[in-house]
Amino acid sequence: MTERSNDSAVDEWARSVREIHQGRELGEKEKKARRFIAWLGDRDIHFMDATPTQFDAFLGDLPEKYGHNYHLGCEVAIRHLYEFHFLGQGASANPTTSWTPKIKPKETDYIFPAEKLRHVFETGYALARQSKTLDKRARHFRCLAVIELVYSSGVAEAEVRAMSPNVLDTAEEGFLVVTGKSGVRNVPITPQALDAIQEWQLAAAAANWDTTEKLFPYPSLGEHALNAHISAWAASIMGREGPVMTLDALRAAFAAHLINAGADPRLVAYVLGLKRLKALERHLANASSFADAGVQAQ
């Protein structure tokens, strides 16, 4: 990550906001951020090394006339500044700061029992290997590969649809280079997911399905039917009652696994291709209990 001075960090942030929002100034938010940055500078602390404890000390040093609302405004401004540098700049490097937003998976009524997810995998692989036709075998392995990939990498449906076989060039090293709305980023891939994709490729070749341009082609369905097809396939195994397995739910479970394991929310958001931490909170609010202890994070 490029070394930035405290002042230049705020300058970059303010300039970016003006460019994105057609000249809109940050106003009070920028003033609050500059005040904290100046406080750090007086103590020879680089903004990327700032901690929540130091932020609390900064608030304690403010004159008494600045009340609770001003303190909240400072936190919003500083959080926005840090999101810009750790997310908006495509921060694949590990930040040195211990500034960690307080994000946790929220309680939800959306329950997907872990045993059902395990049942999907066990039954799905059995069906695939017992299939009497090459087409059916390929269809089963395609669904399994997509589920394993999203569950272990957190990639979005549109990214799965757009993937070419070249995305696997770095898979043996434990990651994929994915292109999404937020640009190019690295995402993890587990050995289980890679094995499932390789089995799918073998099944596709045996069924004479063309995977030279798209890793997961859907010639008979149309590529935009991917999520509906995965949900219907999983429902055929689990039954129609209870929550529906969707790619968004699998992606949320991936995020919840990482957060529950203590991962920095900024890096989880980066892996998901999210620009804002608020978007990560929405994903976690929809996370199902596939992210519970019944299914270990891979």
Which pLDDT value is given to residue 221? 55
Q: Is residue 106 part of a domain?
A: no
Q: Is residue 105 part of a domain?
A: no
- Reported as type and span, the H/E element at residue 185 is strand 183-188
Same domain, 256 and 208: yes
Residue 268 near residue 90, CB atoms below 8 Å = no
Q: Is the pLDDT of residue 122 over 70?
A: yes
Q: Is residue 133 part of a domain?
A: yes
Q: Is residue 79 part of a domain?
A: yes
Same domain, 44 and 186: no
Give the DSSP letter of residue 289: G
Same domain, 145 and 12: no
Same domain, 145 and 209: yes
Same domain, 170 and 127: yes
Q: Is residue 1 part of a domain?
A: no
- Beta-carbon count within 10 A of 139 CB: 24
Contact partners, residue 192, CB within 8 Å, separation at least 6: 148, 152, 298
Q: What's the CATH code of the domain at 252? A: 1.10.443.10
Contact partners, residue 47, CB within 8 Å, separation at least 6: 4, 6, 9, 37, 40, 81
Between 212-216, 222-226, 236-240, the lowest mean confidence (pLDDT) is in 222-226
Question: Measured between alpha carbons, how far is 215 from 201 in angstroms, rounded to an integer?
Answer: 8
- Looking at the 3D structure of the chain, how many domains does it have? 2
228 vs 115 pLDDT, higher one: 228
Which pLDDT value is given to residue 111? 38
Which pLDDT value is given to residue 125? 92
Closest CA to 190 of 145, 153, 161: 153
Confidence of residue 95 (pLDDT cuts 50, 70, 90): very low
Same domain, 70 and 171: no
Same domain, 12 and 153: no
Q: What does residue 183 show for φ and ψ, rounded to 5 degrees?
A: 110, -160
Same domain, 209 and 277: yes
Same domain, 195 and 136: yes
Average pLDDT over residues 232-254: 79
**Residue where a domain stops, chosen among 88, 123, 145:** 88
| Residue written as token pair 């994903």 | 283
Going from the C-alpha of 170 to that of each of 10, 59, 142, 173, 217, the distances in angstroms are 36, 46, 20, 5, 21
Can you state the percent helix, strand and coil of the chain, rounding each to 5? Answer: 60, 5, 35
**Residue where a domain stops, chosen among 41, 73, 88:** 88
Q: Is residue 94 part of a domain?
A: no
Same domain, 222 and 273: yes
77 vs 209 pLDDT, higher one: 209
Q: Is residue 253 part of a domain?
A: yes
Same domain, 279 and 174: yes
**Residue where a domain stops, chosen among 88, 123, 140:** 88
Q: Is the pLDDT of residue 188 over 90?
A: no
Which pLDDT value is given to residue 24? 52
Q: Is residue 51 part of a domain?
A: yes
Going from the C-alpha of 190 to that of each of 9, 81, 113, 174, the distances in angstroms are 36, 33, 22, 7
Q: How many residues does the chain have?
A: 298
Residue 41 sits in which domain range?
A: 6-88
Same domain, 81 and 140: no
